[in-house]
Every structure is written in structure tokens, then in C-alpha cells.
Chain A
Amino acid sequence: MGETCASCKPFITEEDGVLKVRTCAWSPPGDHPVGCGMFIHVKDGKIVKVEGDPSHPITQGRLCPRCIALDEVVYHKDRLLSPMKRAREDRGKDAWEKISWDEAYDLLEEKIRGFQENYGAECIFTLTGTGRESTLYAPVYGPAIMNTPNGASTYPFSGEACYGPRATIVNYLLGAGVPEIDSAQFFPDRYDDPRWVCPKYIMVWGKDPLYSSPDGFFGHSIIDIMKRGAKIITVDPRLTWLGAHSEYHLQLRPGTDAAVGMGFLNVIISEDLYDHDFVEKWCYGFEELSEAVKPWTPEKVQEVSWVDPEQLVGAARAFATNAPSTATWGVALDQSKQSTQAAQCFMAICAICGYIDVPGGITITKPTSFIGQWRYDMSDTLTEGMAEKHIVDPTGKYRMFNTGAAMGGVQGDTLLNWLEGMYKDYPEYYPLRMCWLIGSNPLACMADQPQRWYAAMKDLDFIVAQDIFMTPTIMGLCDLVLPLSTFAEHDGLVTPNYGRNQHFVGAMNTAVENPNTKSDLEILVDMGKRMRPEIWGDFTTIDDFFDTKLKENYGYGIEELREKSVIQADYKYRKYETGDLRDDGQPGFQTVTGRVELYSYVLEAYDEKPVPYFEEPDYSPVSQPPEVVEKYPLVYTTGGRHISAFHSEHRQVPSLRALHPDPLVTINPATAEKYGIREGDWVRVDTMFGKCTQKAHLTYEVNEKTVHVEHAWWFPEQDGEAPNLFGVFDANANNLIPHESVGVTGYGAPYKNGICSITRVDSMKD
């Protein structure tokens, strides 16, 4: 180890003229809050290397290629290093003019004040993206800078189809933050802690966490646990690497998760394999659930979902009779119209097996966060009458989303309809005029029907975005862009699972200065003080802010955190027995009935059925007429991740792009032969909503009836100007996705299921 450096910061050491800055990663560049531990090596003020921090309790020195290639992001030739403005009529043209931060803030202030005075602040809305550091701060921008109710966590996304559906279901059914695999993540000695028990099975449902490490879960913890004896069950239309290493792989038809879930429950209940004690004491509505799942025999499940009955029965028996076992659910459960029912089934399986909050089972905590209350307070600053102007569907749809969401915002389908003028004749309608994009590149990722969003957003008077690179969305639509600092260039805090099941807080420390750029939090504070000094008057410095909030919530301050890098939370099992899950301190769960709700009055109150049921996806080989199915004979799924990119990010990073240079459509070799497609051919995928073209990859990862299409592709090396916009519409899986085929709650959209055809073509432009 090196000596402490001259600057005497406890997180910096020096070795042979190189400063080693200890830090925890988040974003930018894009990532979820796993908070991987690392030393950023700095020489002469420049990052020369990144090395893992072996003392980090979770990652233990391990890093994925994205952090290892961090220097290529920070010093990339295309990095945005100055605010830039452009005339509205030049949208789509590379006609940017560099301006100073003061000029950018002045312009922004002038625009916001103009819209507020002339049209009312509600004509401004914010959009955000997934899982980045900005998710902590973006919800505050709308209310606390601009006094608009159309901010919060609003995504340019049909059915809020990422995390929100699961988080909301967990709120009501379990009264807790999101459930997570017990990987001994709360214990300093991890798997050696005597309180931890190795799970016998890990069920991985609609998720490939080895390459995505979602929400704060370090995916390769699964490998750690496998080495200690755990076996795997996967529920996935794709055979993933984990699937190939599973005891059971339930290869379902995309979008039929609820049917598989009910079949799984039916095996457990009809064969009497559930935890009677837990069900009797801590679950509500077992009889109603049993009745609901009874028709779902393995044969019926197979008919609907294609899952082999032997695999279904074997997996259900193995999972239920091998205590403790654990399970994790992925974004696939959000990305179908039936997200609510799929999530209900998943939670019910975990609950009736008695695996909630036990060693080696599923961890849960109260949803808390170091800035949770602050964020709530700052969002609660709308002036009188503004909250009532929040955009909701004027026909009365999506009441659960609009009044009971875990992550409130404007429902994405409602927003596109509103932008397109569908509600013009309603008395509530008013035109939107300005948008602020915070951590989102919707034309490349998220937006269903991206060309419709593009056309609808073009009508806005003013659009501002902040990012580290020029994106197709900024080039196509924005009038002002603010350059962000990377996580190596600013101070921050990492909060795994966004505080909703948080095993530690990590210190993100500035490794190199970049005075041309600012963080999402700095921009928020700067603009907040300009626009609404009455509510930002108490805010001193970011350091003080972190220090105060940490002390309020955890009893330690920023200095202690920086010295230790990571401070873990403690964990207590079986909190439902001790009153630690409820606000009133009584035993049980923080739900309406005080129990895990297998039958939900809340869902019933929000126009949903109280117990799970199955409904065919709107666009499936079963629900569509034969002539349509003949035209679109295959089923598609989308969105499987490669480790080299975080959604639409990292495409311009040489070392990472070299690992995965092209967008790939995955096709079974037998299917490919039928269509005359060879490995590496360009293949156009068509649905009734649009097309996209990617390169064929022939593999048994998918069955003969299914293809997998990659998402979030654009090509920074191509012409950025409109209409090409870095090729963002060419290989874009979201072209295939219908608008507003969502659940009655407003949650869940079929990003991962639909019907398609495939055709060999000559180039990506065909």
C-alpha cells in the first residue's frame, strides 16, 4: 500500500507519483447503484487506470469492463465539455454554439420564467431515465425548480415498464421495499457470517443479472452462492448462460409469466408443499389464491405458455421443499401488460414457501433512503393549485398509477397521447411547451414508437437536456444541452436499490476535476437557488447536505463515510415477528391487512382483480386472427443485455464496442434455415407497428418459435444530423412495440412480447 498523499484526504493514497482515489461507482456513465469499489489511478491530474478495491464488501475487487474502460469515457473525443445552444429552427442540425454556464443558466431561467408567466408552470415537464444517479435528484427538478406538477419520476415509456410496476406491487402486497436475494450483503464477513444460510435454490425469473447487475444487486453474487452449493431455476424465454447451468429452465412464451406463476403456485398448493405456519400467521387470502390457481394444471400451463410440464412440476417441488431458497424477479415482469399479475404470482410463491425475510431467503426492508424525506419535502413545494394540474388520463384510466404509485409522475402513455393532442377537447387539457431531459435518451431507449415521440416532442417550444455525450435525442430535439460530470469528476453517494432495500451507503469521491462540467445535483441546486430561492435558502454546500442527511438517517457523517468508503446497514431477519416492518411497531407487514396480501383489496379498489388471473397479450399468436398470425408467425422478446453497454450508453467507447460491435437478433438455427438466413446476415424484423434491422446470430438460446431482438442501439460513428440521427431508428427494437397496450393499473407494457416476421435484407438501412 502507498503512503497517504500530501492532500491528506483519507480516501487518497500515493504510490510512485500516482494518486489512488478510492471511490464507489454509480453514474454517469450509466449504471445502477451497485456501488462497485475501485481505486481510480490519477497521474498529473489525469485518470490513467482503474483497479478494483479488494476490501469492498460486495464486489471484493471485481469490476466489469465498463468501469475498467472508464478512462475512455472521461477522455473521449466526443465528450460534451461546454454548454451549447442552438436555434429552434436548427433542431436536427449540427449547428451548436458553445456558451458559458452562466449564459446557459440565464437562458434556462429566461425560458422557464417566460413559460410560467405566459402559460403557467404546468406547461413544463421533465423526463428521466433508468437507475442512474440522477434518479435521486431528477424528481425534484420539476417541483422545486420550476413549480410544475409534471415532473417527478416521469419516463418516456409505455406502462412505466421498468421497476415501477414491481415496486408498486411490493408496496401494496408486502408493505416493503423491493425484495432481494439474500447474498449476505448486509454482513461485513458476507458468506462467513454465522447468521447467513446458503440458499438451496435461487430462482431467477425474467432476469439475467450476471450481465445487468440491476438496481443495486451485484449479479455475480449468484456465482458466489452457486459455488457454495446453491442450484438454479430460471424462468426465461431465452436460454441464458445461467439457464444452461440450471437444474430447471422454464422456457416460457414471452408474456405468459402469470400463467406460469399460477401453475407453479398450483403445484405447491395442490401437493401441500407450502409453509403452513407462515401462511396461517402472516398471509391474507390463501383460500382465494388457491381457488384462482386451481385451474392451472401443468398441462394447461403448457398449452398457454409452452413450458414443459415436467420442468414446471420439478421446479415447483424443488423450490418449495428445499428451505431456504430464494428468488429474484426482473424487468421482464414489468414488460408485459400483465405485470401486476406476474408480480402477484412471484410474491405469492415466495411468501407461501415461507422464504420472506429468513436467512438464505429474500431480504426486505422498510423503504427508506438517505434523501427520501428530503426528496419528498422538496417535491411538496408546489404552490397552491399546481398539484391539481398534474397530467392524468382525463378519461379516468390508470387510477392506481395516478393516485397510488410507488414512483409518481405522468403515466407515459398518457403523456404521449397528451403531446399528440388526443385530449384537446377535454377541459383539463393545456398544451405542453417545454421539456427538461434528465438522464434519458428516449429516442434510443425507453420510448415505445420512438418516431411518434420524436414527432410529438418537435412541437414543443423549448427542450433542454443534460448528458455526457451528444445523443440522437439531443441532436434531434434539444435547444440547449448541459455537459454532465462523470462519477469520477464529482462527489456523490451511492444508495443500492435507491434506498428501497439498502445494504450500504457508498462514498463517491472526486478523482479528477473537470470545471467544464457539473453533476445532476449541482445543476439542481444552482437552478433551484435561481428560480425558487424561498425553498433553497437553507441549502449551503453539497458536502454539508450529504453530511446533514447522513447524520439524520444513519448517525454518521460524510467524513466517516469517505474514510470507510462503504458503511453497511445491519440486518435483522423475521422482522414481521418483531414489529420492525410496521410504522406502528406491531408485528406483521405494513399492508392494509397487516399480512402479505395474496388477495389484495387495494388492487380491487383500483379496478384490478384481487387475485392473479391470465389474459392473452394483445398481440400474440393466440389473440390475433389467423391471417395476422400467418403474416407474423414468430414471437419476439427484446432487451437482453450485453455487459459492454448500459442500455443506450457506452456505444462510442472503443474497448467496449469491440466486445459487441453490432446489434444482434438471436434466431434458432432451424428457424434461420427455414428463412434462408445465415450467421451475420442483416435481418429485418417486422411487426404491425414498425420494423428494425439487426445482424443475425444463430443459436439455441431461443427456441424455434421465438427470436430475441436487442434494444437501445444507435451508432455514434454515423451521421448525427436529421433525418439519420446516428441511425437511431434503424436497429431500434422499440419501433416494434405498440403504444398503450398496458394494464388497467397503468403499469406494464409489452416491450418483451409480441409477434413478428423476419426477412433477410442487404443492409441495416433496408
Chain B
Amino acid sequence: MQHAMIIDYKYCTGCESCVVSCAKEKGLGTEEWGMKVEQIGPNKIGGKWEWDYVPVPSRACDLCAERREAGKMPLCELHCLAKCIEIVPVEDVSKRLADLGEHKVCCFMP
């Protein structure tokens, strides 16, 4: 079954727990990454501040296939301080996007 990563980046605070968790899980060096957090802003749009963090998985990310097979949560999802990362089966993606419709949401399939 294919899975995807949904990020509710309305709440991503850029804590980078996903970055370090992934590096530990995959044994990556500090020059490599399985997740990287991009910062956008702060800038004003229409008089209001826009400041987002968006974690982006690299090809080193397999959505923690081994952990999921063992019934465990992917490590970035477990450690995410804002609880804004979810790994879900692909067929559930549109429902989750609809649930989070008021937020800022993105979906990755690395």
C-alpha cells in the first residue's frame, strides 16, 4: 500500500525535530538530510504577516516503511512538536486534505 506525508504547515514551528529524527533513523550525516525545513517569511501579505515553515522530505525518506510494517509511527511524526506531520495511506489523502481544509496543507510522496 502506498503512503503519503501530509503536513499541516499552518502549525509547523520549524522545530526541526523531524530533521534530526530522520537523520538518526536513517543514519545520515550532517551534510545529508531526509527532511529539511524551509522557512518562508516573515513578510507582509495584504497587511498581515506571513511566516511559514515547510518540512520537505528528500529521497532518503521512505516514510519509515520498516517502522510502519512493525506497527510503529514514523519517527518524524512521533517527535513532531506541533503534531503537524501525518503519514497516511494514499487513498485517505483527499479526505485528510478536506478535513484540514481551513489550514495550510501540503502533501509529499518522496
Q: Is A313 an interface residue (CB 8 A)?
A: no
Q: Give chain B interface residues in 65-106, CB to chain A under 8 Å.
A: 73, 75, 78-83
Q: How far is the CA of A241 from the CA of B49 in the complex (A)?
A: 10
Q: How far is the CA of A155 from the CA of B30 in the complex (A)?
A: 36
User: Which residues on the B side are within 8 Å of A52 (C-beta)?
Assistant: 78-79
Nearest A residue (CB) for B75? A51
Establish whether residues B20 and A655, one from each chain, have CB atoms under 8 Å apart when the complex forms.
yes
Establish whether residues B79 and A63, one from each chain, have CB atoms under 8 Å apart when the complex forms.
yes
Q: Is A49 an interface residue (CB 8 A)?
A: yes
A: contact size bracket: 35 or more
Q: Give chain A interface residues in 37-91, CB to chain B under 8 Å.
A: 49-52, 54, 60-65, 68-69, 71
Establish whether residues B16 and A699, one from each chain, have CB atoms under 8 Å apart when the complex forms.
no
Establish whether residues B42 and A700, one from each chain, have CB atoms under 8 Å apart when the complex forms.
yes
What is the minimal beta-carbon distance from B19 to any residue of chain A, in angstroms?
7
Q: How far is the CA of A516 from the CA of B49 in the complex (A)?
A: 52
Q: How far is the CA of A191 from the CA of B7 in the complex (A)?
A: 23
What is the minimal beta-carbon distance from A592 to any residue of chain B, in angstroms?
42
- Complex partner residue of A644 from B16, B42, B80, CB under 8 angstroms: B16
Q: How far is the CA of A404 from the CA of B73 in the complex (A)?
A: 51
Establish whether residues A65 and B51, one from each chain, have CB atoms under 8 Å apart when the complex forms.
no
Q: Give chain A interface residues in 230-252, CB to chain B under 8 Å.
A: 239, 241, 243-245, 249
Q: How far is the CA of A740 from the CA of B18 in the complex (A)?
A: 43
Establish whether residues B51 and A220, one from each chain, have CB atoms under 8 Å apart when the complex forms.
no
User: Which residues on the A side are within 8 Å of B81 (C-beta)?
Assistant: 62-64, 210, 219-220, 223
Establish whether residues A659 and B19, one from each chain, have CB atoms under 8 Å apart when the complex forms.
yes
Q: How far is the CA of A223 from the CA of B21 in the complex (A)?
A: 20
On whether A245 and B78 interact (CB within 8 A), knowing A63-B17, A644-B16, A701-B42, the answer reads: no
Establish whether residues A227 and B11, one from each chain, have CB atoms under 8 Å apart when the complex forms.
yes
User: Which residues on the A side are within 8 Å of B20 (C-beta)?
Assistant: 65, 68-69, 655-656, 659
User: Which residues on the A side are within 8 Å of B42 (C-beta)?
Assistant: 239, 244, 699-701
Q: Is A654 an interface residue (CB 8 A)?
A: yes
Q: How far is the CA of A136 from the CA of B82 in the complex (A)?
A: 30
User: Which residues on the A side are within 8 Å of B15 (C-beta)?
Assistant: 64-65, 210-211, 220, 643
Chain A 195-210, CB-CB to B under 8 Å as 1, else 0, gives 0000000000000001
On whether A659 and B82 interact (CB within 8 A), knowing A68-B21, A244-B51, A701-B42, the answer reads: no
What is the minimal beta-carbon distance from B33 to any residue of chain A, in angstroms?
10
Establish whether residues A245 and B24, one from each chain, have CB atoms under 8 Å apart when the complex forms.
no
Q: Is A292 an interface residue (CB 8 A)?
A: no
What is the minimal beta-carbon distance from A484 to any residue of chain B, in angstroms?
23
Establish whether residues B50 and A655, one from each chain, have CB atoms under 8 Å apart when the complex forms.
no
Q: How far is the CA of A51 from the CA of B79 in the complex (A)?
A: 8
Chain B 16-43, CB-CB to A under 8 Å as 1, else 0, gives 1101110110000010000000000111
Establish whether residues A220 and B19, one from each chain, have CB atoms under 8 Å apart when the complex forms.
no
Establish whether residues B16 and A51, one from each chain, have CB atoms under 8 Å apart when the complex forms.
no
What is the minimal beta-carbon distance from A704 to any residue of chain B, in angstroms?
14
Q: How far is the CA of A94 from the CA of B73 in the complex (A)?
A: 47
- Complex partner residue of B50 from A244, A656, A659, CB under 8 angstroms: A244
Q: Is A569 an interface residue (CB 8 A)?
A: no
Q: Is A658 an interface residue (CB 8 A)?
A: yes
Nearest B residue (CB) for A656? B20
How many residues of B are counted as interface, with CB atoms below 8 angstroms from the partner's CB atoms? 28
Q: Is B57 an interface residue (CB 8 A)?
A: no
Nearest A residue (CB) for B43? A700
Establish whether residues A64 and B17, one from each chain, have CB atoms under 8 Å apart when the complex forms.
yes
Q: How far is the CA of A539 from the CA of B15 in the complex (A)?
A: 43
Q: How far is the CA of A667 from the CA of B107 in the complex (A)?
A: 34
What is the minimal beta-carbon distance from A644 to any residue of chain B, in angstroms?
7
What is the minimal beta-carbon distance from A335 to any residue of chain B, in angstroms?
23
Establish whether residues A239 and B79, one from each chain, have CB atoms under 8 Å apart when the complex forms.
no
- Complex partner residue of B79 from A61, A226, A644, CB under 8 angstroms: A61
On whether A62 and B75 interact (CB within 8 A), knowing A245-B51, A644-B16, the answer reads: no
User: Which residues on the A side are within 8 Å of B78 (C-beta)?
Assistant: 51-52, 54, 61-62
Q: How far is the CA of A281 from the CA of B79 in the complex (A)?
A: 45
Q: How far is the CA of A245 from the CA of B48 in the complex (A)?
A: 9
User: Which residues on the B side are within 8 Å of A51 (C-beta)?
Assistant: 75, 78
- Complex partner residue of B24 from A68, A211, A658, CB under 8 angstroms: A68
Q: Is B55 an interface residue (CB 8 A)?
A: no
Establish whether residues B16 and A223, one from each chain, have CB atoms under 8 Å apart when the complex forms.
no
Establish whether residues B13 and A241, one from each chain, have CB atoms under 8 Å apart when the complex forms.
yes
Q: How far is the CA of A643 from the CA of B21 in the complex (A)?
A: 14
Nearest B residue (CB) for A69? B20
Nearest B residue (CB) for A49? B24
Q: Give chain A interface residues in 655-681, CB to chain B under 8 Å.
A: 655-656, 658-659
Nearest B residue (CB) for A1? B71
- Complex partner residue of A223 from B13, B50, B51, B75, CB under 8 angstroms: B13
Nearest A residue (CB) for B33? A658
Establish whether residues B16 and A659, one from each chain, have CB atoms under 8 Å apart when the complex forms.
yes
What is the minimal beta-carbon distance from A682 to any residue of chain B, in angstroms?
22
Establish whether residues A68 and B43, one from each chain, have CB atoms under 8 Å apart when the complex forms.
no
Q: How far is the CA of A73 from the CA of B41 in the complex (A)?
A: 33
User: Which residues on the B side are within 8 Å of A60 (C-beta)?
Assistant: 83
Q: How far is the CA of A49 from the CA of B21 in the complex (A)?
A: 10
User: Which residues on the B side are within 8 Å of A49 (C-beta)?
Assistant: 24
User: Which residues on the B side are within 8 Å of A54 (C-beta)?
Assistant: 73, 78
User: Which residues on the A side are within 8 Å of B24 (C-beta)?
Assistant: 49-50, 68-69, 71, 655
User: Which residues on the B side are within 8 Å of A659 (C-beta)?
Assistant: 16, 19-20
On whether A62 and B80 interact (CB within 8 A), knowing A49-B24, A241-B51, A244-B51, the answer reads: yes
Establish whether residues B17 and A244, one from each chain, have CB atoms under 8 Å apart when the complex forms.
no
What is the minimal beta-carbon distance from B70 to any residue of chain A, in angstroms?
9
Establish whether residues A223 and B11, one from each chain, have CB atoms under 8 Å apart when the complex forms.
yes
Q: How far is the CA of A211 from the CA of B13 in the complex (A)?
A: 9
What is the minimal beta-carbon distance from A353 to any residue of chain B, in angstroms?
26
Establish whether residues B17 and A65, one from each chain, have CB atoms under 8 Å apart when the complex forms.
yes
- Complex partner residue of B49 from A210, A224, A226, A244, CB under 8 angstroms: A244
Nearest A residue (CB) for B103? A227
Establish whether residues B49 and A220, one from each chain, have CB atoms under 8 Å apart when the complex forms.
no
On whether A244 and B41 interact (CB within 8 A), knowing A62-B83, A644-B16, A659-B19, the answer reads: yes
Nearest A residue (CB) for B51? A244
Interface centre among A54, A244, A654 (most CB of B within 10 A): A244
Nearest A residue (CB) for B10? A245
Nearest B residue (CB) for A657? B30
Establish whether residues B79 and A62, one from each chain, have CB atoms under 8 Å apart when the complex forms.
yes
Establish whether residues B30 and A239, one from each chain, have CB atoms under 8 Å apart when the complex forms.
no
Q: How far is the CA of A259 from the CA of B30 in the complex (A)?
A: 46
What is the minimal beta-carbon distance from A39 to any residue of chain B, in angstroms?
11
On whether A226 and B11 interact (CB within 8 A), knowing A62-B79, A65-B19, A245-B51, the answer reads: yes
Given A62-B80, A210-B15; 7 other pairs, CB 8 A cutoff: A52-B79, A68-B20, A244-B49, A249-B49, A643-B16, A655-B23, A699-B42
Query: Could you list 18 examples of A-B contacts with CB < 8 Å?
Result: A51-B75, A61-B79, A63-B21, A64-B17, A65-B19, A68-B20, A68-B24, A68-B79, A220-B82, A241-B13, A241-B53, A244-B42, A244-B50, A245-B49, A659-B16, A659-B19, A659-B20, A700-B44
Binding site for B on A (CB under 8 A): 49-52, 54, 60-65, 68-69, 71, 210-211, 219-220, 223-224, 226-227, 239, 241, 243-245, 249, 643-644, 654-656, 658-659, 699-701
Q: Which 3 A-B residue pairs are closest in the complex by CB-CB distance?
A: A244-B51, A244-B49, A658-B30
